[in-house]
Structure 1
Amino acid sequence: MSVAPPAHATAGVAVTARGLSKRYGAGQAAVVALDGVDVDFAAGGFTAIMGPSGSGKSTLMHCLAGLDRPTAGSVRIGDADLARLDDRRLTLLRRDRVGFVFQKFNLLPALTAEENIVLPLAIAGRRPERAWLRQVVAAVGLADRLRHRPAELSGGQQQRVAVARALITKPWVIFADEPTGNLDSRSGAEVLRLLREAVDTLSQTVIMVTHDPSAAGHADRVVFLADGRPVRDLAAPTPERVLDTLAGLDHARVPAAGHPAVAR
């Protein structure tokens, strides 16, 4: 895959959270999904977020991506402080500077693959850069499927459309939420290869929530959560090391009094 890097600088930190907390409900019935999280995500890196059920990993991603407002704390994406953005500016940030890959693809069935890929630009009233579009389409191997609608594509092809859609705006960061959850092992491996190449070749930043040790093995780093807090940080992960760490978390996990986690 030979493509130009995104237009933004890749040195330093792409996403930062400080004192990030998310509480649902109030009083004794309150549940804490995130409990004072401090974490940085390096620009141009591939980070996986893992943890037992109820550890807060999906809530963390939603707060990092501006899809949910935290109860307390701050998130910065690039030079943007999400807490200082009103709903309109936050929507614009997500549209223009953040790419998303979801478990359920989230493609529009009436649109072709190409139309789904360029949808974020169409919504913004912008025309795609034709050279960049060709490069992205070639990178995900969809040149012969651009006129097909989602129902005419396999699950793996639909997810490749979603990856291309995430790349088309040259975002500061791509968030991938269980991107292989609805795919067979072969298609899942292909999507993970694409995300890995987006980091290695496009200098893209990818943050992925996953429960799959094999998927996490494609990352540069794994951040493990338990009861709403980061508890382990694993560099150069392998599936075996990830499994061992997860087993240790399950064995040691004891919910803190007054701070029950919510499964999200």
Structure 2
Amino acid sequence: MSRATAFPVPPAPGGTGGAVAARATALSKVYGHGETRVAALDAVDVEFRRAEFTAIMGPSGSGKSTLMHCMAGLDSISSGSARIGEVELGTLDDRRLTRLRRDKVGFVFQAFNLLPTLTALENITLPLAIAGRRPDAGWVERIVATLGLSGRLAHRPSQLSGGQQQRVAVARALAAKPEIVFADEPTGNLDSRSGTELLGFLQESVRALGQTVVMVTHDPVAASYADRVVFLADGRIVDEMREPTAGAVLDRMKAFEVNGRTN
């Protein structure tokens, strides 16, 4: 799989790379009690910076999806702090948390979750319509062009390939100009070519559109598209890698597996 993107990659706009889009401080998530107690996350400290693409990796059961769900406000935390920008998620009631997820967070999942009766454009702008907000036509047009969807906007999901459907899902996640986009195994239901294209588009959304992307993945090749990889094991962050390559990520994951068997 090639790392080449479909478009020239200009510098990220606005010099936002130093600002923090989301932060966890001593974040813990515990399920059950007594003998059934499981610590899915154990005092995690991590920052996700604006206009940066971060991949979260770790063995099965390491807590990577739990971390994403807690940081996105999809799951409650047991202790510690989770923030989007300067907003502490634990202080929000259900109504305000729903509003924050709608206005500040974008989501991309394995399942495309497109409504079959709507066109691609209607699916892209649906969250804005539900929120009673008018889409920024120029921004949507830019996203659509970046994702190569300009000729597919009138098509319904059944008329699109799997890769095109996932691109529509990415466009929908970006349409509201979220502060951060969380992607949970976004290439899991795609073939190799479509997965390569999608990863290039996520990379492009960071570099050309200034978005912030956090992606959970088990695939070292997918992780190699990120600017940074955070590694979890047993609910804790155990390592970090900048400018990753697929080979280096794979070697690191193999080392975790060996250490896990020998400890």
Aligned CA RMSD, in angstroms, stands at: 2.0
Instruction: Give the corresponding residue for 1:233.
Output: 240
Q: Is 2:37 the partner of 1:33?
A: no
1:91-170 → structure 2 map (5 Å cutoff): 91-170=98-177
Distance 2:107 2:217 in 1: 14
Report the CA distance between 1:9 and its aligned residue. Answer: 5.2
Report the CA distance between 1:231 and its aligned residue. Answer: 0.5
Distance 1:84 1:255 in 2: 41
Instruction: Give the corresponding residue for 2:75.
Output: 68
Q: TM-score, normalised by structure 1?
A: 0.92
Q: Is the 8 A contact 2:17 2:52 kept in 1?
A: no
Distance 1:8 1:21 in 2: 32
Q: Is 2:255 the partner of 1:248?
A: yes
Q: Which runs of 4+ in 1 moved over 2 A?
A: 5-11
Report the CA distance between 1:28 and its aligned residue. Answer: 1.2
Deviates more, 1:183-192 or 1:132-141: 132-141
**Greater helix content:** 2
Cα shift readout 1:90-128 (whole Å, capped 9, x = no counterpart): 111110111111111111112111011001110110111
Q: Is the 8 A contact 1:227 1:255 kept in 2?
A: no
Q: Structure 1: 5+ residue runs without aligned partners?
A: 257-264
Cα shift readout 1:102-157 (whole Å, capped 9, x = no counterpart): 11111111211101100111011011121212111111111111111111111000
Q: Is 2:75 the partner of 1:85?
A: no
Correspondence for 2:207 among 200, 204, 215: 200
Q: Size of the alignment, in residue pairs? A: 256
Cα shift readout 1:187-208 (whole Å, capped 9, x = no counterpart): 0000000000111111111000
- Secondary structure of the residue aligned to 1:175 is strand
Distance 1:137 1:91 in 2: 26
Report the CA distance between 1:183 and its aligned residue. Answer: 0.3
Q: Is 2:191 the partner of 1:184?
A: yes
Distance 1:169 1:99 in 2: 8
Structure 2: which amino acid aligns with 1:81? E
Distance 1:12 1:134 in 2: 26
Q: TM-score, normalised by structure 2?
A: 0.93
Deviates more, 1:143-152 or 1:175-184: 143-152
Distance 1:164 1:136 in 2: 6
Structure 2: which amino acid aligns with 1:35? D
Distance 2:124 2:257 in 1: 39
